[in-house]
Amino acid sequence: MPDTKPAAHVVNRDLPPGPRLVMVRNPGDDHRIVRRLVAIEGPGRLVVRPTPAGRTSDLALDILTATGRSPTTLLADRTPAPDAWRQAAAQLAADQIRHLVIERAHRLPDGALDQLAELGTRADATVWLIWPDTDDDAYLKPPVHAFHHAGYRFQAIDLTAFARELPPSPRALTNPLRADAKTPWAEGVGPVLPMQDFPVFLAHCRAKLPGNTFTALHEVYGREVHLADQWLARCGLTEHHHAPGSVRHTRALGARLTFYLRDHRIGPAPDQAHALVRLRAVQVGLFLRGYLLRWQYETLGTDPTTRLLSQLTERLCHKIRTVANPEAAAATALSIHLSHGPTGFGLITCGNTAPTAAASASR
């Protein structure tokens, strides 16, 4: 029997152009729509996946998380619900979001639809609700009631019309990341990567990046995890006499890890994208060995640069000053302050030192 159901219902025809609500019928709550939602994400579009059995206030946090905010930070801030919704509206406006897509919207708690209607009005965005199909139009009633009073133009469409009205995002394909990259991209060419922490970083990259870019990123990511594991087995856990888990062991490992990241992985990275991928991969490699690498803001305080690891002490500065000219002393002090080996001592020879040892000439 042919499907005689109209492809779309439009109400509020007498209202002037304004915010629009589009109900997307997803027969049987088919999970395969997830791929389609991933494809449409891009500039000006935001797909929100609400927390199951969450509260109305949780939906605001879900929206902020979808924009790239850290969920850990959001939960730690304990922002009141009204403030969270205002932040969400401000973030959507700042990101110029024109299409707000809510997956499995029929699972939203009471009151969430009213908040969404107000949010869409503030952000001047079209709200798309992914809603399961039923034999009648009963599924239309809750959102219609919530959005009707806000002056929304209403439309109900099927998945075919959804693909036509909101096609895959025209995200420009970028040059791939290179596992052995030594030169950066031209300005503005590299991919914009999500800032989520390492447990969910790769998943967000998979959701937000074009396929070929993610494939290249995954190659770099996998290689860095392997290198971090090799380094930890070869250098991080050996060649010192402190018991694993002790304070001295943790400090020694932290110092070695600092040098490894700065001198071999993060420091030589040709651009920010490679640096971020390498950092997240190293975090995973360490985590698989039982080490958690994260910023400790409470330890760093307001001036973190004063707490960076250094081997330079006042006593060492005095010794350098007594045997070297200012230039050689400065070069040596700088290398030690950056926790390198004292390579600057190679500038000092017996022939450069005055008989009184009071001054020397640079070679």
CA dihedral 80, 81, 84, 86 (to 10 degrees): -110
Domains and CATH numbers, the chain: 10-165 (3.40.50.300), 198-301 (no CATH), 314-352 (no CATH)
Would you state the structure tokens that stand for residue 308, as one six-digit string?
């960076």
Helices (H), the chain: 33-40, 56-66, 71-77, 81-94, 112-123, 141-148, 159-165, 198-208, 211-231, 247-260, 272-288, 297-300, 314-323, 326-337
Q: Residue 2's pLDDT is what? A: 41
Mean pLDDT by groups of 10 residues along the chain of 363 residues: 43 54 84 77 83 81 81 75 86 86 84 85 88 62 70 84 80 51 52 82 82 80 88 67 67 82 82 86 87 69 54 65 65 55 48 46 39
The pTM score is: 0.47
Q: Residue 101's pLDDT is what? A: 92
C-alpha distances (whole Å) from 228 to each of 182, 263, 270, 325 are: 19, 14, 19, 40
Distance, in Å, from the CA atom of 189 to the CA atom of 70, rounded to the nearest integer, reads: 25
Q: How many residues does the chain have?
A: 363
Say how many C-beta atoms besides its own lie within 10 A of residue 19's C-beta: 20
DSSP 251-262: HHHHHHHHHHII
Tell me the pLDDT tens digit for each residue of 186-227.
444 457 788 888 888 888 888 787 777 787 888 888 889 888
Would you state the structure tokens that stand for residue 175, as one six-digit string?
């040059």
Q: Residue 139's pLDDT is what? A: 55
